[in-house]
Chains A and B, each alone.
Chain A
């Protein structure tokens, strides 16, 4: 797939991501937000207890290797004092925002958050991270082309 067609597909997909309360106008005037709405928007996305929802099927899923690696990486960040468990939870359950909290797999959020804290606390720069991702992506493409 070419870069342009990938970009256009991406634009169509993000158009489908909507906040739970869909209103036609984004960034409303301040007087359109009353106290109840303000509270609803600021809720911590992980605090879902008591929310009406439909039942979902219980599935026993075995952890994949990358998920175990992610867990170990995040624990190492804790042992080295980069974050504590509560800071990790805040970042992976709340700071991401509701759309990503509900939309990404559990360990996907862990992994994203591990990368984020290293940038936020200046252990790596975003430039270094982006270049590394690009480098690994290229290497992977060459491998799978063989």
Chain B
């Protein structure tokens, strides 16, 4: 987008004195998932940009925290901040992610964040 079409101060105006992602609070509507929900990571097309790691696609996890509201990385990467989403921290058993993970460490977990679009009810 060329500078003539784009207000480059829009984010500063919104975030000054509040911080980011705090400045998006209250803009994502009701959260679709709650702590403890079992979710599956969707395998959406990921052309051009994403922060949703491929190694989690299709895996089952548990919502560990509902963390904040923010534009999804896929939108924010082009400075589109009009549609914030809820973000969730999801916990996976390592064994569910890696087929060869040793049984000796069966209790190991990994936790990572997703915007709401990447989750579906399991």
Residues of A within 8 A of B (CB): 42-44, 47, 49-50, 79-84, 86-87, 89-90, 94, 121-123
Looking at the complex, which one of A42, A47, A50, A84 makes contact with B76 (CB distance below 8 Å)?
A: A84
B46 and A122 contacting across the interface, CB-CB below 8 Å? no
A90 and B77 contacting across the interface, CB-CB below 8 Å? yes
Residues 81-114 of B at the A interface (beta carbon under 8 Å): 97-98
A82 and B50 contacting across the interface, CB-CB below 8 Å? no
Residues of B within 8 A of A (CB): 1-3, 6, 8-12, 46-50, 53-55, 73, 76-79, 97-98
> What are the 4 A-B residue pairs with the smallest beta carbon separation, nearest first?
A81-B8, A50-B55, A90-B77, A86-B76
In the bound complex, CA of A122 to CA of B8 (Å): 13
| Chain A hits for B6, CB < 8 A | 121
B8 and A87 contacting across the interface, CB-CB below 8 Å? no
| Chain B hits for A89, CB < 8 A | 77
In the bound complex, CA of A50 to CA of B54 (Å): 8
A81 and B11 contacting across the interface, CB-CB below 8 Å? yes
In the bound complex, CA of A37 to CA of B48 (Å): 16
A121 and B2 contacting across the interface, CB-CB below 8 Å? yes
A83 and B79 contacting across the interface, CB-CB below 8 Å? yes
| Chain A hits for B8, CB < 8 A | 80-82
From B10, B54, B98, name the one whose CB has the most chain A CB atoms within 10 angstroms: B54
| Chain B hits for A121, CB < 8 A | 1-3, 6
| Chain A hits for B46, CB < 8 A | 42-44, 47
B2 and A49 contacting across the interface, CB-CB below 8 Å? no
In the bound complex, CA of A137 to CA of B76 (Å): 36
B3 and A44 contacting across the interface, CB-CB below 8 Å? no
Query: Provided the pairs A50-B54, A81-B9, A84-B79 are in contact, do residues A90 and B49 lie with their beta carbons within 8 angstroms?
Result: yes
A87 and B2 contacting across the interface, CB-CB below 8 Å? no
